[in-house]
Amino acid sequence: MSFDPKITLFSCHYTSQQSCAEGGHELQQLGFPASISMVRVPCTGKVQVTSLLKAFEDGADGVYVVGCPVDGCHNVKGSVRAARRVGAVQKALAELDVESERIAMYHLPRGLQPQFIAAGVEMDQKIRDLGPSPFHKI
Amino acid sequence: MIVAERKPMAEIIEMVKDCKKVLVLACRGCVTVCSAGGEREAAILASLVRLGLKKEGREVEVIEGSLVRQCDREYIDSIDQWQGQYDAILSTACGVGVNFIANLRQKDMVYPALNTTFFGGSTEQGVWMEQCAGCGDCVLHLTGGLCPVARCAKSLMNGPCGGSVEGRCEINRDVECIWQSIHDRLGAFGRSAQMEVIAPIRDWSTAGHGGPRKTVRKDLTV
Ligand code: SF4
Ligand code: SF4
């Protein structure tokens, strides 16, 4: 089934800082999927479990977080904390019998690196394969 | 403190599936400290209930509230402030809180969001360990302050058993043999001889085996 997914990305300022350059045009040119809307946060350690769940409540079919490398977080442990919270949501989704792959954590080098685009493409494809969120029934 | 953990979501969704309006009621006591049922966890739970019921195709309104404690009458009475806004309370308190709501509010249906697990404390961030089983006849003065009732797998009063190896319990090497620790600790205080004293057979009636327990302090009653 083909559909247009809605994906929410939470990305830390350091990982995504160049991705906003030129009003985001550069991102588009590099093939960053249009299905992804980005929420920039000062540090992914700031992203609470409730923010991740709210994204699903607001209609996201998939959610992912991009933060600094595990051993190179600008705020020391921010991206590790984010990964733990993503893990908590994965577990909760599984308890609700929903595919836990609908949420993911990526630790990527800072700036607009090819991996940033690749992660977006991977997430977009994954959510297309999974289909619409089962939370959209009403 | 009382330590608890959230029940699996499938179990919680089953409880509230026919509700149209749910009050997720946090407790700011022990369960806040053990990160199971404070305001933050209640917000997460409210979101999960909304998502879980949406997935079942059901519409539900979930509101959040919190009480200083759910184990005191005066706070339970203040649930009146949400009157008319819920048809069931999903409590994130320990079992005491849920019982108190059931005891005191005849018209309110209340469900437990948590499994109440033990009396314990945090040994490192994110990890809690049982320390006391509330046996009603404390022996810590004989055991160097370490509890054999809660912390020995067999609740032995004359330990260690033959399964104790290198300070680890025979049920699992990850578990400390508390009797070895009791021995070591008594030794450090020059009180190893205490280990030779045979503890008599215990009367477990104070430990809940004699029905629900009650404490009455005549000096405090009115
Ligand atoms: S002996 Fe009984 S009261 Fe004392 S710590 Fe152990 S379980 Fe608690
Ligand atoms: S090994 Fe130690 S803690 Fe385990 S059951 Fe025996 S005495 Fe108790």
Q: How confident is the model at residue B210 (pLDDT cuts 50, 70, 90)?
A: confident
Show the domains of chain B with their CATH numbers. 2-118 (3.40.50), 133-204 (no CATH)
In this structure, of A109-118, B109-118, B122-131, B155-164, the range with the lowest mean pLDDT score is A109-118
Residue nearest to atom 6 of ligand 2 (CA): B161
The percentage of chain B sitting over the pLDDT mark of 90, rounded to a whole number, equals 98
Q: Is residue B146 lining ligand 1, measured as CB closer than 6 Å?
A: no
**Average pLDDT, stretch B49-63?**
96
pLDDT of residue A99: 98
**Average pLDDT, stretch B175-188?**
98
Is the omega angle on the peptide bond into residue B160 within 30 degrees of 0, that is, cis? yes
Ligand 1: centre distance to CA A74 (Å):
46
Output the six-digit token pair for A109: 């080098």
pLDDT of residue B212: 92
Which residues make Cβ contacts (< 8 Å) with residue B73, sequence separation at least 6?
B100, B104
Residue nearest to atom 8 of ligand 1 (CA): B132
A49-57 and A78-95 are packed helices; what angle lies between their axes, rounded to 10 degrees?
Answer: 50
- DSSP class of residue B9? H
Mean pLDDT of chain B: 96
Which residues make Cβ contacts (< 8 Å) with residue A11, sequence separation at least 6?
A19, A38, A39, A40, A41, A44, A65, A66, A67
- Please tell me the distance from the alpha carbon of residue B195 to that of residue A30, in angstroms, as a whole number: 74
Which atom in ligand 1 lies closest to the alpha carbon of residue B151? 6
Which atom in ligand 1 lies closest to the alpha carbon of residue B147? 6
**Average pLDDT, stretch A87-97?**
97
The percentage of chain A sitting over the pLDDT mark of 90, rounded to a whole number, equals 67
ipTM for the complex? 0.91
Query: A7-133 domain in CATH 2.40.50.100?
Result: no
pLDDT of residue B146: 98
Q: How confident is the model at residue A25 (pLDDT cuts 50, 70, 90)?
A: confident
Q: Is residue B132 lining ligand 1, measured as CB closer than 6 Å?
A: yes
Q: How confident is the model at residue A18 (pLDDT cuts 50, 70, 90)?
A: low
Residues of B in contact with A134 (CB under 8 A): 55
Q: What string of DSSP letters covers A29-44?
A: HTT--TTEEEEEES-G
Q: What is the C-alpha end-to-end distance of chain B, expressed in Å?
A: 28
- Please tell me the distance from the alpha carbon of residue B92 to that of residue B26, in angstroms, as a whole number: 5
Which residues make Cβ contacts (< 8 Å) with residue B188, sequence separation at least 6?
none
Q: Is A120 helix (H, G, I), strand (E, B) or coil?
A: helix
pLDDT digits 0-9 by tens, A118-134: 999 999 999 999 999 99
This prediction's pTM: 0.92
- Please tell me the distance from the alpha carbon of residue A44 to that of residue A78, in angstroms, as a whole number: 6
- CB-CB contact of A28 with A81 (8 Å): no
Give the strand pairing for B114-124 and B127-132. antiparallel
Residue whose entry in the numeric block shows the structure tokens 């205490």: B194
Q: Which residue has the higher pLDDT, A20 or A33?
A: A33
Ligand 2: centre distance to CA B149 (Å):
11
Q: How confident is the model at residue A19 (pLDDT cuts 50, 70, 90)?
A: low
Ligand 2: centre distance to CA B178 (Å):
7
pLDDT of residue A138: 65
Angle at CA of residue A117, ends A112 and A123, nearest 5°: 140
Residue nearest to atom 7 of ligand 1 (CA): B133
Residue whose entry in the numeric block shows the structure tokens 């595990």: A70
**Average pLDDT, stretch B42-52?**
98
The percentage of chain B sitting over the pLDDT mark of 70, rounded to a whole number, equals 100
From A59, A129, A62, A128, select the one nearest A89 (Cα to Cα): A62
Instruction: Name the residue of B151, B155, B156, B184 whose CB sits within 8 Å of the most ligand 2 atoms, as the mutation to test its pocket.
Output: B156
Which residues make Cβ contacts (< 8 Å) with residue B142, sequence separation at least 6?
B194, B197, B199
Domain boundaries, chain A: 7-133
